[in-house]
Structure formats: structure tokens, C-alpha cells
Amino acid sequence: MNDLAERSGFLVLYPEQPFSANILRCWNWFLPKDQDRSGEAKLITDMANSVVEAYNITPSKVFIGGLSAGAAMSVIVAVGSFSFVLF
């Protein structure tokens, strides 16, 4: 992904889950507290919004994706009406 981003001129954000939040370092997409604007979905949104602001990125050019627990969390962020996710 890094090579593709560099060649194509886009940024990639890799949010990581700390061991203290999940022993497997997976996103806790299955916990109700992490499915709203006060949980992990908000943390990911805040990270992305920080990058959008720091690099003056057009919000409609921001996309989210993931694998496994990251894929589940990306759906929660995308359907959670967070401002930066536009498809």
C-alpha cells in the first residue's frame, strides 16, 4: 500500500489498536460502546480528520477500508454519518 500511495500521490493512515484495548490488537467493533461517536469509531474518525486538516485534503477524497476487524470497524465508521466519509 505504501508503494502504491507513493507512486499515485495519496496518503494512507494505519490506525493501530493498542494491546491494552484488545489482546489481539483488533478493533472492538462488536462492543456497543465502540460503535458510536464516543468509542473507537470516533478515535479513527478523529485521526482521519486530523490528517485531512493537516494536509488540506478534500473530504470527498477520503476513503476507509480494512481487513477482518478493521473491515467491520470501517463499516461502522462509514455508516455512522461521520463527516469525512463520502462515497
* 14 within a domain of the structure (yes/no): no
Which pLDDT tens digit goes with each residue over 7-27?
998 999 999 999 999 999 999
| The pLDDT value given to residue 29 | 93
C-alpha cell at 38: 464516543
Residue 32, domain member (yes or no)? yes
Note the pLDDT tens digit of each residue in 69-85: 999 999 898 887 555 54
35 in any annotated domain: yes
Number of domain units in the chain: 1
Q: Which domain holds residue 83?
A: 27-87
Residue 7 counted as domain residue: no
The half-sphere exposure of 83 on its side-chain side, counting CA atoms within 13 A, is 8
Tell me the catalytic residues. Answer: 68
70-77: list long-range contacts, CB under 8 Å, 24+ apart: 70/26, 70/27, 72/27, 72/29, 72/30, 73/27, 73/29, 73/34, 73/40, 73/41, 73/44, 76/29, 76/34, 76/35, 76/41, 77/41, 77/44, 77/45
Q: pLDDT tens digit string along 28-55? A: 999 999 887 779 998 998 898 899 999 9
pTM equals 0.82
- Asked if residue 64 belongs to a domain, the reply is yes
Q: Is residue 77 part of a domain?
A: yes
- Angle 75-81-86 from CA coordinates, rounded to 5°: 75
* pLDDT attached to residue 62: 85
Asked if residue 52 belongs to a domain, the reply is: yes
